[in-house]
A and B are shown apart, each in its own frame.
Chain A
Amino acid sequence: MGKELKKILYVDDEEDIHVIVRFCLEELPNLELRSVYSGEEAIKTAIEFQPDLILLDVMMPNMDGISTFQALKLMPSFAHVPIVFLTAKAQKNEIEEYFKYGAIDVILKPFDTNTFTQNVQSIWRRYQQQRV
């Protein structure tokens, strides 16, 4: 068994979707979810929060998801933190690009609220297995 998923940092400028995601992840009682609304905020919070996994939106004002991803990967303490893109920018070539950058997975918007939590967990587990 791998490490239990305890802390998720969720970055998205869409407040309504934050509400949906939080609602979904409430299924996991041990999980601590931290919501931030911009890339700049994400970087600041990540240092203090030390998440196990980051859910990252792509299309955000000023610092978009890709820039945030790259900035996080440049920080030694976060280089290993798995990042999952949660985005509505879901063209085939765009998805390929996310993986190329090093995302461990991509969840497309709109997502199914019934399976969202399981989906996040299985991504986490697969990641854990791959690390082993």
Chain B
Amino acid sequence: MKERENQGDIAPSSGSEQNRDVPVCGDDDGLVIKESKDSRLFSQISSDHSYQVFFENMNEGAVILSYDNRILYGNRSFFDLIGEPSKGAIGKSILNFIKEVDRSYFIDCIMKKKKKKSELVVSSKKKGDFTVFASAFEGVWDKSEALCLLLTDITELKRAQSFIETSESVARVLSGVSNLEVASKSIINLLQSHLGWEVMIIWLWNQERQQLQCFEIAHIQEMDISAFEAATRAMEIKAKQAFSHVCLSDRPVWIKDVTEEYGFIRRNEAIHDGLRGALAFPFNQNDRFGGVVELFRRLPFEEKVDNQMLEFISAIGIALGRYIQRLFNDQTSQEIVRTFTLARNSYFTTNKEGVILNWSSGAERIYGWTAKEMVGSPAYKLSPDKKSGKPSLIIEKLFSGQAIEHVESQRLRKDGMLIWVKSSYARTYDFFGNLSGLIAVEEEITNEKELLDRLLLCEVKFNSFIEITGDWIWELDAEANILFSNIKGYTILGYRSDEIVGRNLFDFILFEEKEKIKKQFEDFVEKKEGWRNLLIIFVHKNGSNRCLENNAKALFSINGELLGFRGASRDITESKNLEKIKNEFVSIMSHELRTPLTSICGALSLLINREMSPERREQLMAIANKNSTRLANLINDITDIEKLKLGKIKFDFKKINLRDVVLEAVLTARVIANKTEIKIMTVDPLPLIEVNGDYWRLLQVMNNLLSNAVKFSPSQGSVIVLMEIVGSMGRVSVKDFGPGIPKDFQTKIFQSFAQADSSAKRAAEGTGLGLYISKYIIDEHGGAIQFETQEGKGTTFSIDIPLLPDLKQEKGI
């Protein structure tokens, strides 16, 4: 750099030396340079002197000055430099052609101190100011001491130097500052001082959104560009169109004055903020378009854009591109590192090949592998089946655009234990939007899995209990709407669960019961309590009534609000019926026992306590006797039934002749029948029918049938006994001509205490157990008992017993 020592004095020096006689040199003046021991000597030489030729052919401007600054000689290049013809310049002070600020420096340092080399700014009438490099030589001109100056135009060199210096400064700033805002401010200050740019806008290319986004705006301190800045920031979406020429051509574009450029989108704001000159150039990241830098200034942009300028712009672009990439990477990695450190979950990243690049402390905790062990290892190290290469499948899927989130899988821990993890994967991109690998976020769920398994097991158990139980299990809300119903709802009420759930409980309750139960339900809701053993009659889908015994528990929310009820209903219709039957049985049994006992007790008591005639005494004794027998028979029958029911009666099956049984029974019956003059007749000849049977039990059946027939026959009536073979059965029929069996009684005839059913009608004396026992005995023989009856005309009972096989053969059956 040139030194400026006396900037104040810029007027041409008018010292005594200026008055010395200096011959005027013309075009044809010659220049002689004589070499002395220490210096070169100039002398006026003829125009054909070889030195003149030498000077005239020099590219540098050569000028010989007297020590009072006068121009004694100048070559062609010199006059070209100063933009003056030689005639006008010879004899003039050189100071006229030196920029004012450099004049005193020129006098003090070059003329007086004989400084050999220096930079000067020359003012040319044609070219304006420009910098020259001056070399000074002392010598003799026309016998007087003179100074020879060789001047080289270094404007271009200076410009190039400025570009280089600016680039270097920018690079220095960028290498030392990690904050883009601070860096941008420093850069714009550099650009301003070197190149006059006052506003810098950095646009970044968003690969995903395919648009440019304003990333940073910097300007020199004394400016206010708020309007322009706002317009710029609002421009993000349209930015691509605005820079399409930059993006597409990959070349800088410039506008001399944006205020005169009607196509410039931010023209109004530029006018408002006084911006005029504009330059925009792209920058790359990893050889791809990375963004655009815009520069603005208040002066129009009039510089020539040559290779130097382009190179400079390119250098700035490269530096910025690298800086932003580094900055972004730094920020991303800082964020990732922070997240990694903080997170409880496992984080790891891999490259495209599935090699782990980052390994968080969470991952270390879950897997037991340290970052040192894992970074650089393939991710499939974590897979229980290492051959499956699952991570690469994941990468494949991810890269094909599929989302992989909350995937549950088993993984291998360092200690060989299998663990469950829930993983989500995301693609990672480099700064330029290229897929670079994946990031995996994993949460260990081994405990949750186990809990869930246990819970599922519990649920399965619970569900099986619910399904196995014979009870209808349900859940109601506080309005008795059914929220849940198990499968037994179908068994008990005939409705499927989906037909029950959503309906109201009262829809299924017997109409006559509804009002009563509703009141009770409202009471339970009010008291917020469940119920126990509440009997409700429901209506089955088929219309039948079902008696259900209900138990329920109230359900509450966390705040104690009544949510509804959960409970179970047991179908006790059958047991209710059984209870009714049992009660009736007890009632009838009691009656049947009390009735003969009344006669016995009464008769005996009278016999003991009263005076009476012998006839009467006899009558009472007969009564007591007869009823004692009746009571004994009854007790025998009851005992028989008990034995039958308990399976205690053992049948003695053997080959017997059914005719023997019939004959013995007829003989016995005739004894009783004779009293009422009833005839028992057999249809002879009675066939010989051999069966496998218990003789005494079959005799019991025959006795019962015959005694019934006698009992219901009118006096002097008759009973007919018939034996025949019907199919593979031997049949015995007993026919009477009694009143017949009333229709409503026919279905109950083989039930216990059939005579004395709940309607309290007695057909005739008897225990009412005979036919019940008979049916049981015949069933045990594999046979059948049936009857035909006609009211007022009589009844025929018949029993069928299977024939013995050889008899069947004889009969050709």
Q: Which residues of A contact B599 (CB under 8 A)?
A: 14, 16-17, 20
- Bound Cα distance A89, B759 (Å): 12
**Contact call B583/A91, Cβ cutoff below 8 A:** yes
**Cβ of A61 to closest chain B Cβ, rounded Å:** 4
- Bound Cα distance A13, B765 (Å): 10
**Contact call B756/A110, Cβ cutoff below 8 A:** no
- The residues in A between 3 and 45 inclusive whose CB is less than 8 angstroms from any CB of B are 13-14, 16-17, 19-21, 23-24
Q: Which residues of A contact B583 (CB under 8 A)?
A: 91
Interface string of A30-64 (1 = CB under 8 A from B): 00000000000000000000000000001111101
CB-CB nearest in chain A for B592: A88
Q: Which residues of B contact A21 (CB under 8 A)?
A: 602
Is A112's beta carbon under 8 Å from chain B?
A: yes
- Bound Cα distance A112, B598 (Å): 9
**Contact call A94/B609, Cβ cutoff below 8 A:** no
Q: Which of B131-139, B305-313, B388-396, B619-627 faces chain A?
A: B619-627
**Contact call A62/B761, Cβ cutoff below 8 A:** yes
- The residues in B between 743 and 761 inclusive whose CB is less than 8 angstroms from any CB of A are 756, 759-761
- The residues in B between 646 and 672 inclusive whose CB is less than 8 angstroms from any CB of A are none
Interface string of B561-590 (1 = CB under 8 A from A): 000000000000000000000010011001
Q: Which residues of A contact B623 (CB under 8 A)?
A: 16, 19-20
Q: Which of under 10, 10 to 19, 20 to 34, or 35 or more describes the interface residues of B?
A: 20 to 34
Chain A residues within 8 Å of chain B by Cβ, number: 30
Which of B587, B606, B627 makes the CB contact (< 8 A) with A113?
B606
**Contact call A113/B605, Cβ cutoff below 8 A:** yes
**Contact call A16/B763, Cβ cutoff below 8 A:** no
**Cβ of A98 to closest chain B Cβ, rounded Å:** 12
Given known pairs A59-B591, A88-B594, A110-B598, the reply for A20 and B586 (CB within 8 Å) is: no
**Contact call B602/A20, Cβ cutoff below 8 A:** yes
Q: Which of A16, A20, A91 has the most chain B CB atoms closer than 10 A to its own CB?
A: A16
- Bound Cα distance A88, B612 (Å): 27
Is B601's beta carbon under 8 Å from chain A?
A: yes
- Bound Cα distance A57, B627 (Å): 18
Is B466's beta carbon under 8 Å from chain A?
A: no
**Contact call A111/B598, Cβ cutoff below 8 A:** yes
Q: Which residues of A contact B592 (CB under 8 A)?
A: 88
Is B610's beta carbon under 8 Å from chain A?
A: yes
**Contact call B606/A20, Cβ cutoff below 8 A:** yes
Is B172's beta carbon under 8 Å from chain A?
A: no
Is A81's beta carbon under 8 Å from chain B?
A: no
- Bound Cα distance A13, B600 (Å): 16
**Contact call A59/B598, Cβ cutoff below 8 A:** no
**Contact call B590/A61, Cβ cutoff below 8 A:** no
Is A82's beta carbon under 8 Å from chain B?
A: no
Is A114's beta carbon under 8 Å from chain B?
A: yes
Is A66's beta carbon under 8 Å from chain B?
A: yes
CB-CB nearest in chain A for B594: A88
Which of B586, B612, B627, B760 makes the CB contact (< 8 A) with A16?
B627
Q: Which residues of B contact A61 (CB under 8 A)?
A: 761-764
**Contact call B590/A113, Cβ cutoff below 8 A:** no
Which of A14, A66, A94, A112 makes the CB contact (< 8 A) with B595?
A14
CB-CB nearest in chain B for A94: B587
CB-CB nearest in chain B for A113: B605
Interface string of B617-641 (1 = CB under 8 A from A): 0011001001100000000000000
**Cβ of B195 to closest chain A Cβ, rounded Å:** 119
- Bound Cα distance A23, B620 (Å): 10
CB-CB nearest in chain A for B593: A88
Given known pairs A16-B626, A90-B590, A94-B587, the reply for A113 and B762 (CB within 8 Å) is: no
**Contact call A91/B620, Cβ cutoff below 8 A:** no
- Bound Cα distance A16, B605 (Å): 14
Q: Which residues of B contact A24 (CB under 8 A)?
A: 602, 606
- Bound Cα distance A89, B595 (Å): 9
Given known pairs A16-B623, A20-B603, the reply for A89 and B760 (CB within 8 Å) is: yes
**Contact call A88/B590, Cβ cutoff below 8 A:** yes
Q: Which residues of A contact B336 (CB under 8 A)?
A: none
**Contact call A114/B598, Cβ cutoff below 8 A:** no
**Contact call B605/A109, Cβ cutoff below 8 A:** no
Q: Which residues of A contact B762 (CB under 8 A)?
A: 13, 59-61
- The residues in B between 418 and 435 inclusive whose CB is less than 8 angstroms from any CB of A are none
**Cβ of B752 to closest chain A Cβ, rounded Å:** 16
Q: Which residues of B contact A91 (CB under 8 A)?
A: 583, 586-587, 590
Q: Which residues of B contact A58 (CB under 8 A)?
A: 760
**Contact call B602/A90, Cβ cutoff below 8 A:** no
- Bound Cα distance A108, B590 (Å): 12
Interface string of B471-482 (1 = CB under 8 A from A): 000000000000
Q: Which residues of B contact A108 (CB under 8 A)?
A: 594
Which of A66, A89, A110 makes the CB contact (< 8 A) with B601?
A110
**Contact call B760/A59, Cβ cutoff below 8 A:** yes
**Contact call A110/B602, Cβ cutoff below 8 A:** yes
**Cβ of B764 to closest chain A Cβ, rounded Å:** 7
Q: Which residues of B contact A112 (CB under 8 A)?
A: 605
Is B525's beta carbon under 8 Å from chain A?
A: no
Given known pairs A16-B623, A61-B764, A65-B760, the reply for A23 and B598 (CB within 8 Å) is: no
- List of 5 A-B pairs having minimum Cβ-Cβ separation, nearest first: A20-B602, A88-B594, A109-B598, A110-B598, A16-B599
CB-defined A-B contacts under 8 Å, sample of 8: A23-B612, A60-B761, A64-B760, A65-B760, A88-B593, A89-B760, A91-B587, A111-B598
